[in-house]
Amino acid sequence: MAEVSGEIQEPFDLIRLSLSERVVVKLRGDRQLSGVLHAYDGHMNLIMSDVEETIMIVDPVPEGVKPSIRVAKRHIEMLYVRGDGVILVSPPQRE
């Protein structure tokens, strides 16, 4: 729709669309968040609720041994995410 595409003029407009929607946020340090986005700013600081954080943990192992990767999850009701850790923000894959 032409009028629709007209309003997306900068990348942040795409994030704006996801306000009050569930988003997936990839963070530095092998972390990933899934939650409802409530607010963002120009630094990509985010306010999210109902967040599930997924942390990939690679345990240090001696040479030659296959590294084991653990996935830790935790649930957070409300979360402030500092923008400098954000790698990407995307809508959830399914729905």
Partner 1 sequence: MSFFGFETSLPQHQDTGQNQAFAEEDVAVYTWGDASYDTLGDALQEAGDDLNDETFGSGPVGKDFDFSGTFDNTRQPKPEPAPSQNIPSGLSNGNNAWTSNAATSVLPKHVHPSGSAAAPSVFSRIDPLLAGRTEPKQVAAAVHPPVDAPFMIAGDYASQPRTMAEIEADMKAAAMQQQQLAQQRERARILEQQQMLAQQQQQQQRLQEEERMRQEQQEKLASIERERLLQLERQARSDPLWAIRQAMMEQKIGNQGHVHERNQSIPSEASPMSRNRQPMIPVLPSQMPHAAPAQQQMMLQELLYHQQQQQQFLEQQLHAQQHSEKSAEVMADAQRRIQEAEILEAKHRRRVSKIQSMARYNDLMTQSDKDFITRVQVAQLVTSDPYADDFYAQVYASIKQQRNASEINLLKLGSAGASTQGNPNQRGPHRRENAIQRMQAQVERLVNNMKSRELSKEAGAPHGPLANVLGKTSGRSYKAAPRQLLQIAIASPESAKAHPVKEHEAEKAPEHIPSHGNQAPPPFSRAEALLIIERLFTNILDMEQLRRNKPLAEEQVAIAAWNEKQQALLDQIWQGLRVAGNLHETNPHPFIALIAPLKGKRFIGRLGRDLTDNQKVMALSVIVTLIDQVDVIRNAAILDSVEDSQDRRFVERQAYAFQEHVINQGLQLSPASRTLRVYNSLIEFMLENGPVFSRVMRTRPGLTLLEHFFAEAALLKHGLQGPDGEVISAPPEDIAKWDKLYDRLFDVLLPLWTIMFPSSRILPAFPPDSMEIIQVSLVTDGFDQPVWRFLAGFALEGTVEQHSRLVTQLRAKVMGTLKMAQRLEEGKAKARKIRNVDLFLNALGLSSSQIPLQ
Binding site for partner 1 (CB under 8 A): 1-2, 4-10, 14, 16-22, 91, 94-95
The minimum distance between CB 35 and partner 1, in angstroms, equals 11
* Nearer to partner 1 among residue 1 and residue 65 (C-beta): 1
* Nearer to partner 1 among residue 50 and residue 84 (C-beta): 50
The minimum distance between CB 76 and partner 1, in angstroms, equals 15
Give the span between the Cα atoms of 57 and 29, in whole angstroms: 9
Give the span between the Cα atoms of 32 and 53, in whole angstroms: 6
Q: Which two tokens stand for residue 76?
A: 């957070």
Give the strand order in the sheet containing 69-81.
69-81, 46-58, 31-40, 22-27, 86-90
The minimum distance between CB 22 and partner 1, in angstroms, equals 7
